[in-house]
Amino acid sequence: MKKTSLLLLIISVLFFQCSKDSGSSSEATAVGGETGAGGSMARFAIVGNYLYTVDHQKLRVYEITNAAEPVLKNTVNIGIEIETIYPFKDKLFIGSTTAVHILSISDPVKPEKLSTAISPQVMRRCDPVVAKDNVAYATLRTNGFCGGVQSILAVYDITDVTKPISKNSINVTEPYGLGYSGNVLYVCDKFQGLMLYNITQPYQPTFIKSLRDGSYIDVICYQNTMICWVADGVLLYDITNNTNPALLAKID
Amino acid sequence: MRKLLSLLSIPLLLYSCTPESADYNGTVEGYAPVYVSSATASTISVEPARAITKAGKIYVHGTYLFENDVNKGIHIIDVSDRARPRKVAFINVPLSTEVAVKGNYLYTNNLDDLLTFDISNPTAPVLVKRIDDVFPMPNQNYPPFTGVSFECADPSKGVVVQWEPKRIKNAKCRR
């Protein structure tokens, strides 16, 4: 697979952060200036005291040191058909229908474009990614206008985020969001439910079992709770034992 | 929102509208615009907790969970007792699709505007700021695909918030 397509996998349009040990989010409280956690199909992202938003062409930077009063600090032209934005370490990944733009936010008010990856034919807009340390997991979905032949769970070495290396590829049915807690990877699949993989050996995920309590779309792990966006609402699980999530409640 | 309203008053951009070859039933697979009246599009209110109609993006912060009800608003859910989550309020924000929280403030979109709510009392959020034209809206004239037939948009029906797949009869527009 070409380098650009690998890069695209890592930084494609849907980025689901789901980490038990992701710093401030796991210690968030109801007070103070802290942010929480969300899947990032979003058109905005909060990093520290800055809110980043994207419209079809522009990235805007708002300072939210005073959270009640967002102040526009900068507007940067990015490209065309921008759809999503998400932060990863000190970078912003901005996804469009045809390319992904990588910007450095070492200086938060002056995002600086580092590179642009052009989408090859096989890459579409349906590729959620989650990164853990130096490993990235992506689901490549092939139904409808996503194109492609076989849906897969793909594994990459992203020690150098600009040069991802393909490590593994596992056939799945119709995957959506994914996330992880500790050494367990959770993959939403329309037909196979929420699939659990052991990722103790990060490049060799081994299937544990599936949960089938709904039609799973996205998953966020937050402290010892797993929050699943399902087609008709939200499911809450206790993941104190991360290989055996216990259904706590359904919100509909 | 101002920009949006002015856009609506601009005549349709000229995208080729050519008759589509229909099957023997006279229908084709295509797309149709979903409208919301521009009068109600920017009316914000806080309402009692309600059922989720179309589950959307989620955001978790502290002991609260926030779920976007696609194009309708934000459910605020107290999950301090995880086995007994309790919806405490619904912020009616037409055309909202996003949600994020920092401290006691919640950010969402009212179509193309960015709204900031004070949620220090989660049962009674207060709109404290509106910033125009932060988010893009769907193209008002054609769906985001090429080589497709679609129902021609009619600006008199309101704002196009979405293009949904549909079998359409006598499709007059195509791009």
Q: Is the pTM of this model over 0.80?
A: no
Instruction: Decide if B62 and A36 are in contact by the 8 Å CB cutoff.
Output: yes
- What pLDDT was estimated at residue A98? 59
Mutate to test the interface with B, among A234, A235, A238 (most CBs of B within 10 A): A234
- What pLDDT was estimated at residue A14? 36
Instruction: Decide if B109 and A43 are in contact by the 8 Å CB cutoff.
Output: yes
Is there a contact between A126 and A175 (Cβ–Cβ < 8 Å)? no
Angle at A186 between CA A161 and CA A9, to 5 degrees: 30
The stretch B67-94 carries a mean pLDDT of 96
Q: Which residues of B touch A239 (CB under 8 A)?
A: none
One-letter amino acid of B108: T
Give the chain A residue whose CA is nearest to the CA of B55: A233
Checking if the pLDDT of B5 tops 60, the result is: no
- What pLDDT was estimated at residue B12? 39
DSSP SS3 for A27: helix
Range with the poorest average pLDDT among A124-128, A185-189, B100-104, B119-123: A124-128
User: Which residues touch B23 (CB under 8 Å, ≥6 apart)?
Assistant: none
Q: Where are the domains of chain A?
A: 3-251
Q: Which residues of A touch B67 (CB under 8 A)?
A: 229, 234, 251
Checking if the pLDDT of B19 tops 70, the result is: no
**A74 vs A21, A45, A53, A56, A166, CA distance in Å?**
31, 15, 11, 16, 36
Matching CATH number, B45-92+96-131, of 3.40.120, 2.40.10, 3.10.20, 2.30.230: 2.40.10
Q: Taking the CA of residue A28 as centre, how many other CA atoms within 13 Å lie in the half-sphere pointing to its CB?
A: 26
The stretch B139-146 carries a mean pLDDT of 86
Q: Which of A13, A5, A7 is nearest to A122 (CA)?
A: A5
The reply to whether ipTM tops 0.95 is no
- Name the pLDDT band for A13 (thresholds 50, 70, 90): very low
DSSP SS3 for A134: coil
Phi-psi region of B170 (alpha: psi -120 to 50; beta: other; left: phi over 0): left
Can you count the helices (H) and strands (E) in chain B? 1, 13
- Residue A134 phi, psi (nearest 5): -105, 20
Checking if the pLDDT of A67 tops 90, the result is: yes
Q: Rounded distance, CA A163 to CA A232, Å? A: 39
| A3-251: CATH number | 2.130.10.10
Checking if the pLDDT of B17 tops 60, the result is: no
Top pLDDT among B126 and A16 is at B126
- Name the pLDDT band for A135 (thresholds 50, 70, 90): confident
pLDDT tens by residue, A85-123: 777 778 787 766 656 677 889 999 999 987 665 434 334
Mutate to test the interface with B, among A20, A24, A35, A44 (most CBs of B within 10 A): A44
Q: In chain B, where does the domain assigned CATH 2.40.10 lie?
A: 45-92+96-131
- What pLDDT was estimated at residue A6? 39
Checking if the pLDDT of A11 tops 50, the result is: no
Q: Which residues of B touch A98 (CB under 8 A)?
A: none
Mutate to test the interface with B, among A228, A251, A252 (most CBs of B within 10 A): A251
